[in-house]
Amino acid sequence: MERVLRPLERASKQLLFDCKMCGQCVLSSTGMACPSNCAKLMRNGPCGGVRADGSCEVNAAMRCVWVEATGGLKRIGPPQSKTFLEPIDHRLWNSSSWLRVIDGTHSSPTPIRPLPAPAREIFGFEQACKSGRFVVTVEVSPPDSSDPAELIARALRFRDLVDAINITDGAGANCHMSSAAAAAILVANGFSPVAQFSCRDRNRIALQGDILGAAALGVRNILCLTGDDVSQGDHPDAKPVFDLDSISLLRITGRMRDAGTFASGRKLGVAPNLFIGATANPFVPPYRDRIANLEKKVDAGAQFIQTQFCFDVPMLADFMTEVRTRELHKRCAIIVGVGTLSSARSLRRMVQHVPGVHIPESVLLRIAGADNQKAEAKAVLVETMRAVGDIEGVAGVHLMGYRNDEVLAEAIAESGIRRRVSTRAA
């Protein structure tokens, strides 16, 4: 039967859907757009790097598979229930999905059923997010060195200014000290880090091991990411992994904590005590449907969300209206990404080379026309922080700006944002 059906299935589905024969066909759940065509193998919605015209982050000549899927799902009609697509079973590649439908072994999308959360002790950053106080986090890239002194010195600049320090995981597909190791160094020096874990470079075995190891070293805050395209980094010849997407990693990490099991079902001796987060990007296509992807991440277990750079406050306000309609701000802490670079030229280059970043032309022209562009960029940042803080449902801000630590620290102090009470509903 396999020998008979497989060539028929391959020929017909390649013609109609550009099928890659993953052996686990989910076309009815993805608007008849095959997710195996996604360069990052995303199984549960678009990544945050979709270009402004709806094209793929990795291949600009191709329309994003998930932009196509979103349109297809609208034409098919809403699903009967909310579901996840499980990670790919790589043993089934190049086999027939039709045969498994016939014999009843074809898997269906998994209904969303949150695990009951056991009672557990909560720590600094999680306490801050649940306190009702406006929280502030900042992003720091790990050093290109085995000496931790540079990392500690950069972190000290933000002592008493932030509630947590994000440690990036090969941001921009560039190599640095590992996020888990850098986060553990900060823990040992009295800081509260958020360790980022990207699906780009490791499979599900390595990711679970690294998260467990980080927890053993005192790292409590985890941010689950799909990851950037390798072609944009300093190792464009590297092989991308993308065994999981961020939503699958959220669910696996949540099961490690709440059920005390690995993804395989094998029991853990002691479950890690983790505060689990994810990212959102309200500023890229499919704009109106980004909220559904956010909701799926919250359903998957995200307790805090950090967004991409916000330079367009009205666009964020529109997004937050729908967040409040679905009451997602009551289920997780929405922390809005803000930041700056030192000139309009640097910001424009970021827009051109970092898919997912949106900066209105009016902002770029304002900074470009200033006598002191660095000071004007900081002024825009301070104004943005204050405006974001006024939007109902926002729990805090997350500052980013590569090697711009001094300006970010000054902006936090000048904005007075630390004295705010969160507008997030209890």
For residue 426, name the pLDDT band (cuts at 50, 70, 90).
very low
What pLDDT is stored for residue 425 in this prediction? 56
What does the pLDDT average to over 169-178?
94
What pLDDT is stored for residue 302 in this prediction? 97
For residue 112, name the pLDDT band (cuts at 50, 70, 90).
confident
Instruction: Work out the number of other CB atoms within 10 angstroms of the CB of residue 240.
Output: 18
Distance of CA 376 to the CA centre of its chain: 29
**pLDDT(113) > 90:** no
CA distance 334 to 394: 5
**pLDDT(81) > 80:** no
**pLDDT(156) > 70:** yes
Q: Which residues of 395-407 are buried (b: 16+ CB within 10 A; e: fewer)?
A: bbbbbbbeebbeb
Looking from the CA of 228 toward its CB, the CA atoms found within 13 Å total 22
CA distance 340 to 176: 22
What does the pLDDT average to over 418-422?
85
Would you kindly state where each structural domain of the chain is located, as residue ranges? Answer: 2-111, 124-419
**pLDDT(329) > 60:** yes
**pLDDT(116) > 90:** no
Of the CATH numbers 3.40.50.2300, 1.10.3720.10, 3.20.20.220, 3.10.450.50, which one belongs to the domain with range 124-419?
3.20.20.220
CA angle 356, 130, 416 (to 5 degrees): 70
Q: Tokens 């029991």 map to which residue?
A: 267
Q: Is 270 exposed, middle or buried (0-12, 13-18, 19+ CB in 10 A)?
A: exposed
The rounded percent of the chain whose pLDDT value lies above 90 is 83
What pLDDT is stored for residue 79 in this prediction? 65
CA distance 140 to 158: 10
CA distance 308 to 359: 11
Q: How far apart are the first and last CA of the chain?
A: 57
- pTM of the predicted structure, to 2 decimals: 0.94
What pLDDT is stored for residue 80 in this prediction? 60
Tokens found for residue 190: 């009295």
